Structure 1
């Protein structure tokens, strides 16, 4: 009912207002509304605040307050009725007598724009707008993130603040003390700071400062950026292009990242232990450890992985030195061979002197047509290995001159076996062909050629059958030439022998040699002289007029020791060569013992030399006598000529010299050579002639 009364009263007032306006047109009266304080009012929540106004121009106007076009209270000033306040604000709002609006214990939600409008019938309405901001003191402000870490390369990372109480008038974000603004990297919206595409440089201290007219608050948070691992950097110490077996080295793998990445080395699919901070130590490496090593880096928080590999070259040179050789192929070509096996990798081999385009590994051969130009030509093989360069050389050569070698033995059946060897230095190795007389030797029961063709064996029971055979001929040949050797076998014989006693005369050593083509299967050592007592007490009987065999030696023997001898006795020794049951010509006789005197040959030499020496002396004396006689005779027959004074003066001025020391023994003066130089018609006797004496053999006492 009260509302209807108020509405009726308003209608009446409006009607009166219009009536006055139309009745008094042309009047200058109007309402004037002025703020009695600031139009923007800040208030702390829970306090009382008034939006103060003052007006003039008409009494008791109608006051209407609204918030965001919603009326919160109306009242006609000085009316008997109470202000009409919105029901939900009656405990807070109050319209004062001057039209001002008062907020009692203003709650936080009353922040907003408030507009006052004055109206009077017949006058133009006036209005003013106020801004009321209700603030609250800050309490429990903090910065929060969705995760503890930001990841480099992510789309974004957000920091957001929260608080228990407080109204923010202004907020300021800082990073490491520097204020942040909206940009392509940072976005500030509401209560959040968004880092767009964060990177490792965004790690640090973030701070927030909140302020309002009544209080301020700050919050800080350190942000950690997870990143990496970056591209790994791998290396080897010592840094070398390659390593040899037995070396020691270290592999390293490093990369930036947070947290520090975990490093793992793998080789041939297997994880390698003993890696410390990305360093892998390898000691006494072998060629089997050469290959690809892979380093894997893991960020345990982001699960990011990076890998990088390196290749180790571990080499081992081949053992020994390269070996060169040359062989014949199909009796037409020469095949040069070079071998240097082993090693990692295998050595590369080539013969640059023969070909610039051919090479091989470990075992290499090159075949060329045989020609005279290759005879004794040195061909070098170049062996190239990463750890060493080496070489060897070989020369192909025709067979060299040689002497056949004859050896004699007896087989199990008692046959004499004569082995003839024809060995000639040649490269490739020479083959040997055999002939006897004009016939080619072939294998049979009495003749056998070795598989290498270098040796011929002849079998017979009787040595005489060897001696009646024609000469044997061996021809050594290869692709570059040939050499021929001829062999005429001869019976058992000794070419030279000697005797060597010891200082005490109790032991003698006999040595001997045999002709190269002699057939000898053994030797008999014979002695003539006193009985020989051996250490075992056995007495070797001997006669003074004959030789007895005291030792038997094999055909390969070339010396014999005989002992013990009596130093005061005289012994005679000789060597008998044998061919099975046939004895050859004994060696010369060797004598051992005291009083050996001159040998028979020495005595014969002395006997022959004495008469020759006497004859020589006689001829020398006759020659000297004839020379002296002829000289004196010519001097007596020389005519006398007048001597000029110059000549006489010269003769008188000459110094008298003593006679030559060779003429001081009473010999006659030397002949007058001026007389000897006369023409043949002036000579009275012929010139003496010199007859050389016969040679004299001088005997030597041994």
Structure 2
């Protein structure tokens, strides 16, 4: 069976051959075609053939064109060598069938090739090829300027390679493919970024491919930008800070590389502050003001500035102070002051005027009226750290008591100072007069700066009864008047106070307010004070007359007397003096044991005894009368008493003891305690009679 199949196949070939010869003999046509694909890729240095089988005519003329230039001419089966361009003989080789072979094809032979075959009497036949010669891509690198700058015209990334022919290049940024548009432009071997910005920073990738391989290369691109406008922020964020607080001020802005900061205060650079955070501790009011932050990009040399105003306040010292003054005794000037503080406190008097005010020190002048007398006016003080207030009340002068002070000048003359002060707000102004004449400064009178004191020079104490002075205290709200009649030296309220042992006594006294006194003589009557002899024994002597034992100035109001004999009796008095003029002595005060009853004391005792006896007699008669009346009342008719009660009552006979006569013929009073009566005769027990104790009457002088 196999030989039968082989016979059939050979028969078919033979028939086909016969058919071809038959057709050629009847019609001849030259046909050329590409044995391989018309696009041929070859690696540089390799051999490649553009195969072109043909049919239809023998001894055909073959011409190969590289683009439009003929590079090979030959007649197939001709013994004559092919006509090949001299510069291409090492590369080009014509095959017997007319195909073109490239030996160690160089890169420069990439082109379009056309083969043209002709036969006399027949039409030309053409076949076209495209030959691309490639090198394997190796050692691809990307390059660019160091940084891209935001806002620049363009930024270019370029790739280079050691060898290779690129058929296709693709660019990516952060994994996203880049196509040519308004922002990117892909050129041969480069990528151009138009007007780059900070968002263009990232990883850029180029991918190069050809039919024989691909290479991918990456590069990170940084974009310089900024600094942006700084943002200043104080922490803790407060509208103001108190002296002693601590805070920080940050200056932040976007930029690459991160910008550096410099600080300035009041136009002066703070040399020690280079960070973007400025720390301020224990701030003082002098540190309040305008702080400026300057941010600098060291690469782009761009700067940005921003300022912030910090307010540092300090509380005013103490509390606000209110006062009121009188202007020409017609108007009132209310004054409010709150010292210190930053800023100064705002002050106002809402009641008199709600439209005006001032800072730190404020005055308001109003007309004095009766409505303002005794009315409290408030000053409202406002400071950002504290609110406070103070009150002031304008009042007319009140009644007052003048004070007199007496001194002795260098010429040993008396100078009398009269002091007139009346409580008033504002302070009262004092005017002086003697009789009906006004007193002014001169040789005889001196008025103090505040007018409250009148000093009378070379005062004559002997004419004191004729010297009457008047002081008038007045302000815008009213006045008070007081007449002063100076008195001669005198003393009031003299007293003595001994110690427990009786060896020391303190004498105290007072002086009338208008008395003129320059000194005091302390006088004593009685034994002399104890003194020590050389042998250690104490001696004393005595006198029945007052004698001066001490001298004291006019300012003295007490004195101690020591070394007294507690067994002796002393008498003391004080004599006021105006230089050599003596006033009336004080009362006499006695100290020590009694000296027996005086005549008046004895007379008093004698008169008191009969009176006491008469009083006792009258008291006894009154008691007897009461008992008698009560007894008569008990004899009246009574309601019957039950037998049980009668048995319980034991009646005792009345026994009345005989009366004893008192000295002087008077009978003694009955003893009512011994009287026994039934319960029906009395409601309560009678009081017991106890004779009074003898009374001793004495008078101490």
TM-score by length of 1: 0.82
Q: 1:366 to 1:601 in 2, by over 3 A?
A: farther
The equivalent of 2:133 in structure 1 is 134
Note the aligned Cα RMSD (angstroms). Answer: 3.6
SS at match of 1:551: strand
SS at match of 1:428: coil
SS at match of 2:116: strand
Distance in 2, Cα, partners of 1:38 & 1:110: 17
The Cα offsets for residues 138-170 of structure 1, whole Å up to 9 and x where unpaired, read as 23321111x222233433322111112111122
Distance in 2, Cα, partners of 1:477 & 1:354: 23
Structural mapping, 1:410-559, within 5 Å = 410-460=408-458, 462-469=460-467, 471-533=468-530, 543-559=542-558
Number of residues of Structure 1 aligned to a counterpart in Structure 2 = 640
The Cα offsets for residues 509-562 of structure 1, whole Å up to 9 and x where unpaired, read as 11111111212111011112222256899x999742212111111111100111
Q: Is the 8 A contact 1:493 1:584 kept in 2?
A: yes
Q: 366-375 or 452-461: which moved more?
A: 452-461
The equivalent of 2:36 in structure 1 is 37
* Deviation of the 1:347 alpha carbon: 0.8
The Cα offsets for residues 99-141 of structure 1, whole Å up to 9 and x where unpaired, read as 2222222221111111122233443333221100011122332
Q: Is the 8 A contact 2:531 2:540 kept in 1?
A: no
**Residue 404 of structure 2 corresponds to residue 406 of structure 1:** yes
The equivalent of 2:341 in structure 1 is 343
SS at match of 2:464: helix
Distance in 2, Cα, partners of 1:511 & 1:397: 38
Q: 1:472 to 1:610 in 2, by over 3 A?
A: farther
Q: 1:322 to 1:456 in 2, by over 3 A?
A: same
* Deviation of the 1:325 alpha carbon: 0.5
The Cα offsets for residues 666-687 of structure 1, whole Å up to 9 and x where unpaired, read as 5999xx9xxxxxxxxxxxxxxx
Structural mapping, 1:151-166, within 5 Å = 151-166=149-164
Q: 376-385 or 55-64: which moved more?
A: 55-64
Distance in 2, Cα, partners of 1:82 & 1:165: 37
SS at match of 1:288: helix
The equivalent of 1:114 in structure 2 is 113
Distance in 1, Cα, partners of 2:698 & 2:444: 53
Q: 187-196 or 455-464: which moved more?
A: 455-464
The Cα offsets for residues 418-450 of structure 1, whole Å up to 9 and x where unpaired, read as 222111001111122233344443444434433
* Deviation of the 1:453 alpha carbon: 2.4
Q: 1:516 to 1:122 in 2, by over 3 A?
A: same
The Cα offsets for residues 26-51 of structure 1, whole Å up to 9 and x where unpaired, read as x9654322111111111111222221
The equivalent of 2:226 in structure 1 is 228
Distance in 2, Cα, partners of 1:558 & 1:657: 78
* Deviation of the 1:416 alpha carbon: 1.9
Q: 1:59 to 1:658 in 2, by over 3 A?
A: farther
Q: Is the 8 A contact 2:262 2:274 kept in 1?
A: no
**Residue 196 of structure 2 corresponds to residue 207 of structure 1:** no
Structural mapping, 1:57-68, within 5 Å = 57-68=56-67
Distance in 2, Cα, partners of 1:159 & 1:260: 24
Distance in 1, Cα, partners of 2:640 & 2:676: 29
The equivalent of 1:97 in structure 2 is 96
Q: Is the 8 A contact 1:50 1:102 kept in 2?
A: yes
Q: 1:105 to 1:460 in 2, by over 3 A?
A: closer
The equivalent of 2:71 in structure 1 is 72
The Cα offsets for residues 481-517 of structure 1, whole Å up to 9 and x where unpaired, read as 1122222222211111111222332221111111112
SS at match of 1:451: coil
SS at match of 2:226: coil
**Residue 215 of structure 2 corresponds to residue 217 of structure 1:** yes
The Cα offsets for residues 648-673 of structure 1, whole Å up to 9 and x where unpaired, read as 659999999999x995455999xx9x
Q: What residue ranges of structure 1 are gaps of 5+ in the alignment?
A: 1-26, 673-695
Distance in 1, Cα, partners of 2:403 & 2:339: 37
* Deviation of the 1:465 alpha carbon: 0.9
Q: 1:233 to 1:632 in 2, by over 3 A?
A: closer
Q: Is the 8 A contact 2:263 2:274 kept in 1?
A: no
SS at match of 1:407: strand
* Deviation of the 1:80 alpha carbon: 4.8
Distance in 2, Cα, partners of 1:596 & 1:236: 96
Q: What residue ranges of structure 2 are gaps of 5+ in the alignment?
A: 1-25, 653-669, 682-694
TM-score by length of 2: 0.82
